[in-house]
Amino acid sequence: MQGNAVVAQSGGPTAVINSSACGVIQECQKHRQIKRIFGAKNGILGILHEELFDLGEEDPQAIEGLRRTPSAALGSCRYKLKSLEESRKDFERILEVFKVHDIRYFFYIGGNDSMDTADKVGILAKEMDYDLIVMGIPKTIDNDLAFTDHCPGYGSVAKYIATTVMEAGRDTEALYTADTATVLETMGRNAGWIAGAAGLARRSQQDAPHLIYMPEVPFSIDRFLDDVKAVYRDLGRVFIVASEGLVDEEGKYITAQEGMFAKDAFGHRQLGGVAETLKNIVEREVGIKCRFSMIGTCQRNAAHFASKTDSDEAYLVGQMAVRHAVEGTTGFMVTLQREDSPEYRCTTGLARLSDVANSLKKVPREWINEEGNFITQQMRDYVRPLVLGEVPIKIGPDGLPEYVRLRRRLIEGRLSPYSVQS
């Protein structure tokens, strides 16, 4: 099928989401049936507002430079499209934009909610007899997408977290007479993949982290205090890693702002405060000085120390999405499948968007120790290959990384301005 293509990015940026965009763009340029490749400014919002730019007009070196540039170069968003019935006006507008620009290929890079949106766009296109190929490309540092062994973005955040814990742990070790305990909070609303990756940093009993807490195991303050006291008794210091999504036995979030959550556009609670909560508990109940760290968005954009494995696989899923699309495949997300072999090897597969949408993959309970306060060897073996290799970063004369910026010159709109549904 001949026509134009559009690629969009959604949700939280990562160190390698631009590698996926690069894979899409460069692969599209190899296929004659794809006439032009547009980028959507700020994800699905760019499509709704008809804010598209022709990626064929970008400098090829800038496109290649996306492979070493963090964040979302096309622009991202957190705009939530609900059901086809509730957001019918928005979905029809998307198809109206596609029709007027002869867009026949839609590539959406994102997480759970993005796959849901892509699936619904495909359903409506079929309902309205509009020929459209829709392909999802996985992206999430949380690593909680089902039907794929792991998600692009996770390997790099795992590498960053493990390294940060190694370095911060040495700081605590040097100054334990002043700051005896440290709590470091990671992202991870519903799953502990990021927090668990910190376990790679511990090569000996002395090394941080000494304790890791993930949402998969209900959090008990009494058990937590016993754990902290035991480590303090043995080492004279304690380094704790905790996921932002910790919940107690009743499913309530462990947070300093309990009951006072803001929500994002997807209706998810905006978490944070776990580290401060645990820090206060340690100081009050154990009687030792404790500090806390919240590294926030730094963990998802650390391209200066991204995993080459992660970057290469992010490029691959973008590339494969296009190859499947030009063969007529639609309504699927490209997956990563780990081969059963002594050395790490990964291939790609496909999963239906309808199956992936709004699904959730948690850390298997057997990958967490019986006490619920650290990872097992199984999780180490799972994460370790994903952090391997370094992405070659160009360093400028000022000693800092040189990242690219696309021109993103918008094409002329053909439709009336549009206001999104609230």
In a domain, 412, yes or no: no
Q: What's the confidence (pLDDT) of residue 266?
A: 53
In a domain, 413, yes or no: no
Q: What's the confidence (pLDDT) of residue 255?
A: 80
CA distance 96 to 101: 9
Same domain (yes/no): 84, 187: no
Same domain (yes/no): 294, 353: no
Query: Per-10-residue mean pLDDT for the chain, 422 residues long?
Result: 98 97 99 98 98 98 98 95 93 98 99 95 97 98 98 99 98 89 95 99 98 98 98 97 94 64 48 85 96 93 98 99 99 98 96 93 98 98 98 97 98 96 70
Q: What's the confidence (pLDDT) of residue 351?
A: 98
In a domain, 283, yes or no: yes
In a domain, 228, yes or no: yes
Q: What's the confidence (pLDDT) of residue 270?
A: 44
CATH number at residue 121: 3.40.50.450
Could you give the number of structural domains in the chain?
A: 2
CATH number at residue 184: 3.40.50.460
In a domain, 324, yes or no: yes
Q: What's the confidence (pLDDT) of residue 189?
A: 86
Q: What's the confidence (pLDDT) of residue 235?
A: 97
Q: Contact, 164 vs 197, CB < 8 A? A: no
In a domain, 110, yes or no: yes
Same domain (yes/no): 291, 383: yes
Active site residues: 142
Same domain (yes/no): 318, 292: no
From the list 408, 337, 411, 388, the residue with the least C-alpha distance to 59 is: 408
Q: What's the confidence (pLDDT) of residue 258?
A: 40
Same domain (yes/no): 279, 314: no
Q: What's the confidence (pLDDT) of residue 422?
A: 63
Same domain (yes/no): 238, 328: no
CA distance 398 to 258: 45
Same domain (yes/no): 138, 55: yes
| Two structure tokens written together for 306 | 């991204």
Global pTM value: 0.94
Same domain (yes/no): 127, 79: yes
DSSP letters spanning 344-383: --EEEEEEEHHHHTT---PPPGGGB-TTSSSB-HHHHHHH
Q: Is the sign of the CA dihedral 104, 110, 114, 120 positive or negative?
A: positive
Q: At what angle do helices 274-285 and 221-235 cross, to 10 degrees?
A: 70
Same domain (yes/no): 148, 160: no
In a domain, 404, yes or no: no
Same domain (yes/no): 235, 165: yes
Same domain (yes/no): 59, 120: yes
Same domain (yes/no): 91, 234: no
Residue-range definition of the domain harbouring residue 354: 3-152+304-358
